[in-house]
Every structure is written in C-alpha cells, then in structure tokens.
C-alpha cells in the first residue's frame, strides 16, 4: 500500500469513529419548566397521613375522602368530599407543610385573619342548610370562603365569608362575613407535617403542626 493510500485509509477510519460518538438529530434532553415530568413522593406514615394511599393522592376516613387535585405546586391543592349529619360537605384547600417552621404565633400570627391553608382561600360548600359551631348558627346551602383567626393557640374563631373565590386573605372584608363561631383547639398526639381537613363524626377538623381545631356541623332541617 502506498503512503498516500495508507493516509487516506487511516483518516477515513478516524472520521467514522467520530461520527459514531456524535448524538443523532433524534436525541432529546430532559424536559424542563412546565414540561418537566412531575414526581410525587408518598408522605411518611405515622404522621397526619396514616390513611393516605401509597401514591399520596387520596386520604379517606369513615365518612369522607380527600383527593389531591394539583401536585405541581408547593402546597398541593386538595379537596375533601364527605357528609356530616346527612349533609354533603366539600372543602377545597391548599395544603402547606411545616418545614421546620414555627406555625402558631409566627407563620400564623395571633389576632389576625388567616386564609387557613395556602394560596387561594379555603372554600367550604354545604349542599343543604346547616347549623355550625356550638352556637348553632344557621348557614344557607352554598359555598363560602373559610377563614380562621387564632387569638392565641387555644382560642380560635371560625369565619364563613360570602366571597368564596379570593386569594388568601388579602382582599378579605369582614363586612362579607355571614357567620363567626368558636373553634375548639386540642393538641395532636402526633404532629401533622401537612395541613389537612377531616370529618370526625359531626365535626369538621383542621389539623396542622401540633394542633387540631374543630367545629360541629348539623343539618338545619330534620
């Protein structure tokens, strides 16, 4: 083989090898931003999610089910559906995490109206007229924003506001309140990392951090 032919052979082989290591036009990179795949991790058992399914998507009790509607946001949007005293109840709320923060008296300040969750204000819907709180205050069937106000860790006010769709408590107006009742606060045996609602007998229960706040609900007409 002549020197020219040998050089041509070796140079062609190098070009072929380089081509084999170059990505083809069909190669894709991992999606980013809104197109990135969402991975959800099931919550740790033994906290507030003992009855959460293995996918972390639903939670259930004797007379209710909680479904996670949106896992793409930091505080997932959840919805409880159930019944109390024969009345269908729906609660739509953002579920923030404790994340090693001090909740009551700090993140949730005393003496101020709280959205009772994250992002949009929590919404509660009653399919029929009900009585709420130990005071037995009557509410017509419909959807209300559900705010709370802790005067201290043990003294809670539950607020039903007629403006159902609002962001947080930024535009909250007490002139739109249709009812204010007392909530009962008790210590949780096991801290709740995620804020959640549940139905316990004839009571609506809010659980977060080391506290559970409840108020009774009953059908207005028997």
Q: Which residue has the tokens 């992002």?
A: 119
DSSP 3-state of 212: strand
DSSP 3-state of 208: strand
- Taking the C-alpha atoms of residue 2 and residue 119, their distance in angstroms, rounded to an integer, is 78
Q: List Cα–Cα distances, 180 to 111, 158, 193, 199, 208, in angstroms.
A: 14, 6, 27, 20, 21
Per residue in 33-71, pLDDT tens? 222 222 233 333 233 344 444 345 678 788 999 999 888
Per residue in 134-187, pLDDT tens? 999 999 999 999 999 999 999 999 999 999 988 878 889 999 999 999 999 999
Q: What is the pTM assigned to this prediction?
A: 0.74
């Amino acid at each position: 083989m002549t020197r020219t032919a040998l050089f041509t052979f070796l140079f062609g082989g190098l070009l072929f090898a380089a081509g084999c290591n170059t990505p083809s036009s069909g190669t894709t990179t991992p999606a980013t931003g809104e197109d990135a795949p969402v991975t959800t991790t099931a919550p740790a058992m033994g906290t507030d999610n003992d009855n959460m399914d293995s996918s972390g998507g639903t939670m259930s009790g004797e007379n209710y089910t909680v479904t996670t509607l949106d896992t793409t946001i930091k505080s997932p949007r959840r919805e409880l559906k159930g019944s109390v005293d024969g009345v269908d109840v729906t609660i739509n709320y953002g579920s923030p995490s404790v994340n090693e923060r001090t909740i009551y008296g700090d993140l949730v300040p005393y003496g101020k109206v709280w959205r009772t969750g994250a992002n949009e204000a929590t919404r509660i819907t009653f399919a029929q007229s009900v009585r709420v709180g130990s005071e037995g205050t009557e509410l017509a069937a419909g959807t209300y924003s559900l705010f709370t106000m802790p005067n201290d860790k043990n003294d809670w006010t539950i607020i039903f506001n007629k403006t159902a769709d609002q962001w947080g408590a930024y535009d909250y107006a007490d002139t739109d309140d249709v009812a204010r009742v007392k909530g009962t606060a008790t210590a949780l045996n096991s801290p709740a990392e995620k804020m959640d609602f549940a139905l316990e007998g004839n009571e609506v229960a809010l659980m977060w951090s080391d506290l559970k706040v409840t108020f009774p609900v009953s059908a207005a007409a028997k």
